[in-house]
């Protein structure tokens, strides 16, 4: 296969419409966020990651589906970074979800497991095509490790920056088990995603052994 053809095959399956939507959302939500310093902290990782997805597509070679899910996760994250996770006004958007605690951060942590796991699964499939058990375990382990690492970043930021900003960044809302619950939700999301991906292998009549 000619090199030019191979390059086109890598670049064509890219959801440009979703990337454009994320860029528009980012531009709108970057305007007058609830707390500019917290917004900067929240986007310290997400902005470079989004740029890597778009500009580094020759290197990661992820499928249309995986990139779309990653962009969806970033779109959810941008809403939280604009309002401050504990202040996202979802209760006014969907009154049935109203409660004493703002659960938007819980939704995003669950979405982290659901939406990030397919990309990890896909990258691991290139080297573990027939070892599906190992691929599943590694996908879930990487998701939980990334979630835990982010909780450590939150803890470190809360310890080193302005106390009020640190509390806003962590978003625990007084729950002493917030970090554990966030990680558990990421784990649950990863389990769900891996279950669907594994089920797809059986559906396609592939041997998962």
Whether residue 94 is contained in a domain is answered as no
User: Does residue 114 have a pLDDT over 90?
Assistant: yes
**Which has the minimum average pLDDT: 51-55, 83-87, 140-144, 194-198?**
83-87
Question: Residue 197 has which token pair?
Answer: 């991906």
Radius of gyration of the chain from its Cα atoms, rounded to whole angstroms:
18
The count of domains in the chain is 1
**Residue of 121 and 209 predicted with greater confidence:** 121
**Which has the minimum average pLDDT: 50-54, 55-59, 76-80, 140-144?**
55-59
Whether residue 91 is contained in a domain is answered as no
- Confidence at residue 94, expressed as pLDDT on a 0 to 100 scale: 52
**Taking residues 156-170, what's their average pLDDT?**
63
Share the mean pLDDT of the chain.
Answer: 79
| CA–CA distances in Å: residue 75 to residues 60, 114, 197 | 20, 14, 23
If you search the block for the tokens 């999301």, which residue do you land on? 189
The packing angle between helices 104-125 and 64-83, to 10°, is 150
- Confidence at residue 195, expressed as pLDDT on a 0 to 100 scale: 93
DSSP secondary-structure letter at 109?
H
**Residue of 6 and 76 predicted with greater confidence:** 76
- Confidence at residue 44, expressed as pLDDT on a 0 to 100 scale: 86
Residue 13 neighbours by CB distance under 10 Å: 15
């Amino acid at each position: 296969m000619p090199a030019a053809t191979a390059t086109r095959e890598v670049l064509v399956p890219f959801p440009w419409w979703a990337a454009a939507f994320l860029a528009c959302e980012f531009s709108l939500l970057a305007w007058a966020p609830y707390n500019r310093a917290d917004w900067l902290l929240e986007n310290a990782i997400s902005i470079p990651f989004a740029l890597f997805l778009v500009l580094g597509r020759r290197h990661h070679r992820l499928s249309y589906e995986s990139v779309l899910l990653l962009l969806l996760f970033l779109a959810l994250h941008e809403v939280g970074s604009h309002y401050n996770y504990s202040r996202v006004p979802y209760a006014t958007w969907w009154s049935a979800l109203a409660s004493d605690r703002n659960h938007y951060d819980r939704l995003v942590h669950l979405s982290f497991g659901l939406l990030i796991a397919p990309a990890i699964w896909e990258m691991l499939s290139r080297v573990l095509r027939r070892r599906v058990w190992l691929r599943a375990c590694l996908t879930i382990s990487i998701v939980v490790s990334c979630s835990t690492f982010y909780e450590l970043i939150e803890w470190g930021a809360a310890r080193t920056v302005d106390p009020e900003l640190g509390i806003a960044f962590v978003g625990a809302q007084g729950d002493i088990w917030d970090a554990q619950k966030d990680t558990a939700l990421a784990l649950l999301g990863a389990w769900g995603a891996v279950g669907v991906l594994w089920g797809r292998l059986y559906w396609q009549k592939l041997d998962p052994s």
